[in-house]
């Protein structure tokens, strides 16, 4: 794909059928293609197997939407989600498609700010704006969306979003006691009931067991990729690895796992040969904090443009999504739902209190990734991560880990200031 100009494929007739603002969306499509070519295809020493993921971006608003429409026309559910707490295994068990709808672009935020307050999380505004502006085919194709209560901005926005698309909310307990697990299990059962209502048929225990294995395999492939990134020189750039993690929320799970494993086979060969995407002298940085939804590549681009390589993402679009598997030894439906609930309770989002396990996990991943410094990334107005950053910083100071905390949004307005701070941070690593 490097031989010719990269382009995100256009499907205007299909988009019109989805009641999209086609003229406006087409401008965004062209901008995405230009940005992608600049940030990704300009890299040297890229693994050859990244070609699949380039193709995935090329067809992200075309070919992949057509696949999802085929599933929908067969009567299977298409469910949009905003959080890694929503159990995608249940959707897959019903033969459906689970799609991540978090917004990572500033382009849709003005649409949201016509309704929502300005001083809330940009990810929430971006997601709402995509639907309000009719500029996201994934939003247009879903049967319904499933929100959750991990933060105040989200849970109140879901009430307003319900006016535009059927929106159902899963209550996420804010603690992890036995009574909270019992509540969570009931929410999982309610989610299963809702999916069954849309699909018109019950989810069988055999289908759920198969879906658990399928999604576990997707997570195993991502775990394998993460382990390979711990090598020096890093066999793949951080921005390419982040892209793969983002695509995990859009692609067909079985195919995605196959393609990630094919890439990992190539990366293993590169490790054996000592060939990296960057030199062994590059500062190694771990990024921790809030999710980085597609196409939010801001922090990785700033870090790697300054000469670093990102070797790990401790975030919901990162290890928090795939570090834990679901036990596959459940027989009955009740046993499987209990196993599923136990796995999802191990996710250490900053919405929980207390949340010392996340602090421990950050330090663990720092050591496993062989990083040399941590950049903690928080979106503006994300109060839970911004406040929990205090404990992450204190833990890093206690361990003598070079550390930088950044709070930002999706705009490019602060890029120069952030670049200066990042360069100083990388000098600290080099001292």
Write the burial class of residue 44 (CB in 10 Å: 0-12 exposed, 13-18 middle, 19+ buried): exposed
Question: What span, in angstroms and rounded, lies between the C-alpha atoms of 134 and 405?
Answer: 34
Kind of pairing, strands 373-379 and 403-408? parallel
Structure tokens at 113: 């700010």
Name the residue with tokens 């194709």.
141
Q: What is the DSSP string of 301-359?
A: HHHHHTT-EEEEEESTTTHHHHS----S---SHHHHHHHHHHHHTT---TTSSS-HHHH
Q: Which of 204, 219, 285 is nearest to 256 (CA)?
A: 219
Q: How far apart are CA 131 and CA 99, in angstroms?
A: 14
Q: What's the Rg (C-alpha) of the chain? A: 21
Q: In what order do the strands lie in the sheet with 403-408?
A: 309-314, 284-289, 373-379, 403-408
Cis peptide leading into residue 387 (ω within 30°): no
Beta-bridge partner residues of 168: 146
CB 72 within 8 A of CB 78: yes
Q: What is the pLDDT of residue 297?
A: 98
Count of C-beta atoms within a 10 Å radius of residue 57 = 23
pLDDT at 88: 97
- Other CB atoms within a 10 A radius of the CB of residue 294 amount to 21
Please, are residues 380 and 407 in contact by the beta-carbon 8 Å criterion? yes
Separation CA 24–CA 380 (nearest Å): 27
One digit per residue, the tens of pLDDT, for the chain of length 431 reads 445 689 999 999 999 999 999 999 999 999 999 999 999 999 999 999 999 999 999 999 999 999 999 999 999 999 999 999 999 999 999 999 999 999 999 999 999 999 999 999 999 999 999 999 999 999 999 999 999 999 999 999 999 999 999 999 999 999 999 999 999 999 999 999 999 999 999 999 999 999 999 999 999 999 999 999 999 999 999 999 999 999 999 999 999 999 999 999 999 999 999 999 999 999 999 999 999 999 999 999 999 999 999 999 999 999 999 999 999 988 899 999 999 999 999 999 999 999 999 999 999 999 999 999 999 999 999 999 999 999 999 999 999 999 999 999 999 999 999 999 999 999 999 76
What pLDDT is attached to residue 1? 42
**Residue 151 region by backbone torsions, left for phi larger than 0, else alpha for psi between -120 and 50, else beta:** beta
- CB 384 within 8 Å of CB 151: yes
Q: Which DSSP helix (H) or strand (E) runs through 404?
A: strand 403-408
Return all residues near 136 (Cβ < 8 A) that are at least 6 apart: 25, 101, 108, 130
Q: Do residues 384 and 277 lie in contact, with contact meaning Cβ atoms separated by under 8 Å? A: no
End-to-end CA distance of the chain: 40
Cross-strand pairs, 148: 170
Domain regions of the chain by residue span: 12-430
Burial classification of residue 160, based on how many CB atoms lie within 10 Å of its CB (0-12 exposed, 13-18 middle, 19 or more buried): middle
d(CA 235, CA 264): 10
- Which DSSP symbol is given to 283? P
Q: Which residues contact 235 (CB under 8 A, 6 or more apart)?
A: 47, 228, 229, 267, 270, 271, 275, 276, 277
Model pLDDT, residue 431:
67
- DSSP-assigned letters across all residues of 376-387: EEEETT-HHHHH
pTM of the model: 0.97
CB atoms inside a 10 Å sphere around CB 245: 24
Residue whose structure tokens are 């206690």: 398
Q: How far apart are CA 424 and CA 375, in angstroms?
A: 12
């Amino acid at each position: 794909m490097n031989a010719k100009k990269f382009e995100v494929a256009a499907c205007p007739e299909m988009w019109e059928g989805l009641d999209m603002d086609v003229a406006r969306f087409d401008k965004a499509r062209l901008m995405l293609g230009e940005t992608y070519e600049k940030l990704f295809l300009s890299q040297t020493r890229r693994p050859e197997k990244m070609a699949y993921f380039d193709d995935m971006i090329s067809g992200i608003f075309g070919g992949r939407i057509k696949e999802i429409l085929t599933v929908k026309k067969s009567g299977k559910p298409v469910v949009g989600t905003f959080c890694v707490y929503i159990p995608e295994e249940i959707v897959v068990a019903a033969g459906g498609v689970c799609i991540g709808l978090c917004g990572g672009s500033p382009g849709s935020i003005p649409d949201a700010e016509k309704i929502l307050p300005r001083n809330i999380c940009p990810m929430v505004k971006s997601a709402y704006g995509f639907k309000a502006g009719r500029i996201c085919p994934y939003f247009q194709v879903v049967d319904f969306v499933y929100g959750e209560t991990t933060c105040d901005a989200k849970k109140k926005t879901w009430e307003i979003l319900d006016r535009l698309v059927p929106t159902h909310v899963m209550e996420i307990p804010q603690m992890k006691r036995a009574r909270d697990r019992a509540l969570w299990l009931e929410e999982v059962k309610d989610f299963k009931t809702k999916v069954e209502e849309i699909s018109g048929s019950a989810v069988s225990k055999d289908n759920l067991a198969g879906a658990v294995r399928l999604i576990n395999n997707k997570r195993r492939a991502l775990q394998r990729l993460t382990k390979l990134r711990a090598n020096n020189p890093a066999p793949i750039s951080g921005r390419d690895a982040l892209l793969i993690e983002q695509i995990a929320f859009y692609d067909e799970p079985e195919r995605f796992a196959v393609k990630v494993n094919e890439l990992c086979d190539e990366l293993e060969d590169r490790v054996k040969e000592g060939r990296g995407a960057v030199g062994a002298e590059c500062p190694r940085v771990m990024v921790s904090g809030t999710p980085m939804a597609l196409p939010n590549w801001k922090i990785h681009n700033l870090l790697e443009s300054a000469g670093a390589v990102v070797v790990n993402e401790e975030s919901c679009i990162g290890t928090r999504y795939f570090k834990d598997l679901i036990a596959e030894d459940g027989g009955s439906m009740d046993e499987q739902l209990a196993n599923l609930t136990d796995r999802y309770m191990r996710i250490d989002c900053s919405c929980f209190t207390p949340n010392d396990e996340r602090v421990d996990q950050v330090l663990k991943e720092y050591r496993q990734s062989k990083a040399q410094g941590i950049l903690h990334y928080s979106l503006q107005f994300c109060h839970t991560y911004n406040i929990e950053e205090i404990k992450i910083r204190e833990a890093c100071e206690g361990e003598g880990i070079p550390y930088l905390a950044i709070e930002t949004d999706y705009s490019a307005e602060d890029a120069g200031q952030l670049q200066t701070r990042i360069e100083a941070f990388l000098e600290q690593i080099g001292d």
